[in-house]
A and B are shown apart, each in its own frame.
Chain A
Amino acid sequence: MSIAGDVLPVGDAAVLAVVGDAIDEGTAALDVVPAYASVLVRFDPAAAQLAIAMATMRGALEQATTGPPAIVRHIDIGVCFSNEYALDLEDVAQKTELAPLQVIEEFCRPIYRVAFLGFSAGFPYLLGLSDKLHLPRLPTPRVKVPAGSVAFAAGQCGIYPRNSPGGWRVLGKTGATIFDPAKAEPALLHPGDSVRFHAVDSLDQATAVVR
């Protein structure tokens, strides 16, 4: 099935194609940024023109088709939910009227899908969060969320690859390396991957297994 979409200008040096994820990268393209329902293509305005970029993207949209990704990887990620890492577990339990153990169970139940990587290097936006865990972002973001923190907010779920500010609700921590720029494959998770969390007793057991 072909994709009905729209191509919008982003100033003079980028275009945004809304809907779709299978775009040919033109030679003038400097970068391609997929998100939930759009693809941004950045180019050198001295080498290409907006009108041509938009026409190219429209052509690509017309030819693009929807469907499941060709290869789906499954990644199991161990998460330690002990008190020192579960910064918001008590609060989430209170707000959702669940017991902390039920929150963990509810969180580990779904098979999540990686929508895209964004916010910071390697940060995965995961879809599939249980309806019982729908809470908004923290009213005041934390100045420092520890690396490996597994967190959710506003219907999304993610893992902080390194210490950074953040406003999502932290339930636990994984010891898996989420992003390492020195590796040939820097990011643990890629768009389209399916992910499942399971509870482990200690951080050194909280690893990732790619199946």
Chain B
Amino acid sequence: MSTSIEIIDPGLLSTVQDLGRQRVAALGVSPSGASDWLSARCANRLLGNTHNAAVVETTMTGIRFTPRQTTMIAITGADAPVSVAGAQRPTWQALRVRAGVEVKIGHAQRGVRCYVAFHGGIHVPLVLGSASTDVTAGFGGAGRALAMGDTLALVQVERELPDDERAIPASARPFWRQPAVLRVLPGPHIARCAAHEIETLCGQAYRVSTRSNRQGVRLEGHALRNDAGFDVLSSGVCAGCVQLTSDGLPIVLLAEHHTTGGYAVPFVVIAADIPDAAQLRPGDSVRFSRVTLADASAALTEKTQALREDFDEPAATR
């Protein structure tokens, strides 16, 4: 019999996500997918799932759910209290959950989005090649945000449930600092900005706006003023693009971004730091820091180290 999960309370916004849709942007379709791709991959890694297995992404207020059959789960991402059948349990660790007990992720203390992976991964019909929910377009995943009473089937796998509750070492988890630092490389329109404008962009700590969502993180702070404006001929964009809107303030694009944009992109957040951008909460302080391509490459190698290591070390021995 296949395993399924019942959603008791989806919180503010919980969606099914994998690593997103590829090769459909030419149709105007957003890649969507897990905003913090690294946490999603870590959660799957802990359970021995494929790296693209579908997980649940929660927002700020967590989620409550109950597996109908005994299974293994792993929760990563934002720093939030987790309880299983009322007892507190750790995140960034594989957890065995008995049939019928309630798993609760509480309010995130730091960060925004938690990722819940299940043994085998969530089974939903693929839309345009992906399990990801595109909330804006209204397809993928469960076809919408998860709702109370929804049931998610899990992919049936041959392998046994692992019995060790392995964990990702603390050194490989996010460390939360204020102000957060997003490392950036030049974007296609950096030439549109004068030196003093680049200084303004990189020299200040911005505040994260409450108008941020899966499409992007809006920042508030000292606005750039440019009589010519920052509009460009619409061109393709990707997650990490720092767009300068007409009010002179930046938006950092996240997974569910529009495929094209008409705002200048002076900088792009490096791939390794997109997970950090995805975990910025309204009110957080954030700075941009210019780095080199070699720095970006080293950062990606460093951040993905946990995905390459073997976790044969059970949590109990740590």
Contacts and interface: CB of A to CB of B under 8 A. Distances in A.
A121 B184 contact: no
Contacts of B134: 121
Contacts of A72: none
A46 B265 CA distance: 23
B42 to A, nearest CB: 15
A45 B260 contact: no
Interface stretch (B26-34, B163-171, B202-210): B26-34
A121 B26 contact: no
A32 B21 CA distance: 12
Given A8-B188, A36-B233, A182-B127, A13 B26 contact: no
B187 A11 contact: yes
Interface in B276-317: 293, 296-297, 300, 304
A39 interface: yes
B186 interface: yes
Interface in A110-124: 116-123
Nearest to B125: A182
Interface residues of A, number: 43
Interface string B213-245: 000000000000000000001111110110000
B275 to A, nearest CB: 13
Contacts of A45: 271, 296-297, 300
Contact of B234 (A9, A50, A125, A164): A125
Interface in A121-166: 121-123, 125, 162, 164
Given A35-B260, A40-B237, A121 B29 contact: yes
A181 B237 CA distance: 21
Interface in A150-194: 162, 164, 179, 181-182, 186-187, 191
Interface stretch (B105-113, B135-143, B150-158): B135-143
A12 B236 contact: no
Contacts of A207: none
A117 B297 contact: no
A14 to B, nearest CB: 5
A162 B233 contact: no
B271 A11 contact: yes
Interface string A1-29: 00000001111111010100000000000
Interface string B84-115: 00000000000000000000000000000000
A182 B24 CA distance: 13
B26 A34 contact: yes
B27 A186 contact: yes
Given A30-B23, A33-B236, A38-B236, A118 B304 contact: no
A10 B241 contact: yes
B27 A187 contact: yes
A31 interface: yes
B188 to A, nearest CB: 4
A14 B259 contact: no
11 contacts: A10-B187, A12-B297, A34-B26, A45-B297, A118-B258, A118-B260, A119-B28, A119-B260, A181-B139, A182-B127, A187-B28
Interface of A: 8-14, 16, 18, 30-40, 42, 45-46, 49-51, 116-123, 125, 162, 164, 179, 181-182, 186-187, 191
